[in-house]
Structure formats: C-alpha cells, structure tokens
Chain A
Amino acid sequence: QSVLTQPPSVSGAPGQRVTISCAGSSTNIGAGYDVHWYQQLPGTVPKLIIYANKKRPSGVSGRFSASKSGTSASLAITGLQAEDAADYYCHSYDNTLSGSVFGGGTKLTVL
C-alpha cells in the first residue's frame, strides 16, 4: 500500500489528453512538499519529467504538464503519442516518515 495513491491504469487514443492523479495527505503533499513525476518506459530507468510540482526539466516535451492542489497532484499529457506508453510515478516527501514517498505507479496505455 503506497502512501501516495495513483490509479493503476489510464488509457487514451493518440492525440487525446489524459490525466493521472496522485492523492496524498496532510503529512506529505498537503504539508506543502513538492511533487515530482517520473516516466518509466518498459525495461528502462525512471526518468524525471516534472519537478517541483509543475516544472519541466530541459528536454522534456511541453505536452507534459502538472499541477498540485491541497493534498493531491496531477499529471497531464496532451497530444498522446505511442511513445508515451509507460509507467508514471508521483513522488513527494512525508514528514511522518522523514523520507520520500512514491505513488504506486500508473500504467498508461495508448490505444
């Protein structure tokens, strides 16, 4: 059971927009800690795609955006492409744990 809750799967057709939610609590996201997002393509290392709630690292497509509100956060992917099929993880800090917490991951299927 992950501290941050994500839907196990989402899907969308090419060109569509999908969102992935990340629900936390008052000890992590709700406490003001930043949320980060990673993309893990099949058989590869996780890659940072969003940091500090909504910032994109250099080289990450502008089709990826994210937001945070209250005790939750969400990742949006617009103009879905086949190459976006991957697992996506949210990540934050928890002051009860005094450490990192990850969501359980969401598998994105591009139909």
Chain B
Amino acid sequence: EVQLVQSGAEVKKPGESLKISCKSSGNSLTNYWIGWVRQKSGKGLEWMGFIYLGDSNTRYSPSFEGHVTFSLDKSLSSTYLQWNTLKASDSGMYYCARQAAPGSAWVAWGQGTLVTVSS
C-alpha cells in the first residue's frame, strides 16, 4: 500500500523561498501522478496541479501557475512543491495525494504540511 509522508510545518516571512516534500513508500511503481491541493483555514480544497512520476510532466492550475513549481527526485521517491517568493496569502495546509491518472480518484493522501507566512 502506498503511503505518502510530507515534510513538517514551516513558518516563513513574505519574500522568502520554501520547498516542501512528499515522500512515497510502499510501492515502487512510477506510473502514477501526485497531485497537490491547498486548504486555507476553514476553507475548501483548491487544486494546485500535479506531476507525473514517470516523466516529470506537470500541469498547474491557472491560479497557481508561475507562483509554484513541482519537481521530482526519483532516487528519493519524493516530489516537491516550491515557492521562490512567498506571500502571506500562501499560508495554509498543503496536501499531496496519489492518483493513477489525471481524472482518477486521489486514493492515498499525505498528512499535510502547514505553511505559515507572516512578517
């Protein structure tokens, strides 16, 4: 069974950079996608995009494109979500999840990474 383990909570200042991780274990298959969503406090799930573990193909939501970057390190079975310039509005809980294909269900979820951006 695939398990996703995310990196720990982060507290950053506006303008700083950040990279959080999502490590998969329990299954060595690489032909699936890792999606990312943001959930602000008390709000719903916002799709950010996904990355295909087979060839690092990425798709971004228009709401996040240009502001975040997904990457992959196959040797570490890890995917990453990165910001070069954080804003206060980036604060929230970030989840990664596995899906077999872009239209399929998000079966396994990480435990979430809480990002707080405050001056």
Tell me the A residues contacting B by CB distance below 8 Å: 2, 33-34, 36, 38, 45-48, 51-52, 57, 87, 89, 91-93, 97-105
A53 CA / B45 CA spacing, docked (Å)? 19
Residue from B46, B62, B104 with most neighbouring chain A CB atoms (10 Å): B104
B13-41 CB contacts (< 8 Å) to partner A: 35, 37
Complex contact A48–B62 (CB within 8 A):
no
Known contacts A34-B103, A46-B95, A93-B103; is-contact A99 B109 (Cβ 8 Å): no
Known contacts A98-B59, A100-B35; is-contact A46 B105 (Cβ 8 Å): no
Complex contact B37–A102 (CB within 8 A):
yes
Q: Residue of A at shortest CB range from B111?
A: A45
A102 CA / B45 CA spacing, docked (Å)? 7
A48 partner residues in chain B, CB cutoff 8 A: 105-107
Residue from B35, B37, B47, B62 with most neighbouring chain A CB atoms (10 Å): B47
Complex contact A103–B107 (CB within 8 A):
no
Q: What is the interface residue range for chain B against chain A?
A: 20 to 34
Q: Decide yes or no whether B112 CB sits under 8 A from chain A.
A: yes
Complex contact B37–A45 (CB within 8 A):
no
Complex contact B102–A34 (CB within 8 A):
no
Known contacts A46-B95, A105-B44, A105-B45; is-contact A99 B59 (Cβ 8 Å): yes
Known contacts A46-B95, A93-B102; is-contact A99 B47 (Cβ 8 Å): yes
